[in-house]
Amino acid sequence: MLRNASRWLLTLLVGAGAFYGAEYLTTQHSLHEAVPYAATAIAAVVTWLVSGRVLAAARDTLAFPTEDSPAAPPAVQARPAMFVRTPPATPAPTAKTSCGCPSPEPGKSTVIARNARMSVVAFGEDNGSFTVQVTARVSGSEFKGPGGLRGKLEALEGIKWEHPKNLGSEGRQMNGRVHAAVYARVAAALKQLAERVS
């Protein structure tokens, strides 16, 4: 409630300043009499839109724990301490997943599945996550249509996909990021999906 009150107050002050400034310019330069009202409306709308993000950032930045509230807000608690690096939670570099394919080491890759129509390759990242690259030789309707490959890939949980690339005659390509904690499950699901596409 306080945040909206401060937004309203800020909007009111900026709108009033814009009105009186535009009214002064209108009398000095013989502008149309509607200029102060238009300037007030524009300034108020812009202030309202911008102040939401600015005040939210200020609130997150200035939220310190007090004796009354020993726990900081969740946004502050989630941030790691400065200059403290925690080791990434990755499985052993050569650990086999449930699909039988090894987890790639950082900077290296491993093939999860490959057939005539689809290949799935995982790349190990330095931060412990994995990038998965799916290349499929399918038509546009097989890729985007109802029940298409894109919808099936995006329905997999635990992977965040980038926008797909059209490789022309080579088919379509999608890249996604997977956290180490769910890599085995995602790799097994991708391998099953590749077997159905073949």
For the four alpha carbons of 12, 14, 19 and 20, in that order, the dihedral sign comes to positive
2-29 and 35-61 helices cross at what angle (nearest 10)?
Answer: 150
pLDDT at 67: 54
Q: Rounded CA gap, 184 and 175, in Å?
A: 17
Cα end-to-end span (Å), the chain:
57
Please report, for the chain, the start and end positions of each structural domain, with discontinuous segments joined by +.
2-77, 109-197
Tell me which architecture the domain covering 109-197 has in CATH: 2-Layer Sandwich (3.30)
pLDDT at 42: 93
Residue indicated by tokens 């890759």: 109
- Of 71, 83, 89, 10, the C-alpha closest to 46 is 10
pLDDT at 140: 80
How many other β-carbons are positioned within 10 Å of the β-carbon of residue 88?
13
Structure tokens at 191: 């391998």
Output the furthest CA–CA distance in the chain (Å, rounded).
79
**Residue 163, amino acid:** H
Cβ-Cβ contacts under 8 Å for 32 (sequence gap 6 or more): 26
Strands 172-178 and 130-136: antiparallel
Query: What is the length of the chain?
Result: 198
Q: Rounded CA gap, 42 and 37, in Å?
A: 9
Q: Would you say 57 and 51 are in contact if contact means Cβ atoms under 8 Å apart?
A: no
**Residue 75, amino acid:** A
Tens digit of each residue's pLDDT, the chain (198 residues): 565 788 888 888 988 999 999 888 888 888 888 888 999 999 989 988 888 888 777 776 776 555 555 454 444 444 445 555 555 655 444 445 555 667 778 888 888 888 888 888 888 888 888 889 988 888 888 888 888 888 888 888 888 888 888 888 778 888 999 888 888 888 888 888 888 876
Eight-class DSSP state of 70:
-
pLDDT at 167: 82
Eight-class DSSP state of 155:
H
Q: Would you say 125 and 131 are in contact if contact means Cβ atoms under 8 Å apart?
A: yes
Q: Rounded CA gap, 104 and 189, in Å?
A: 17
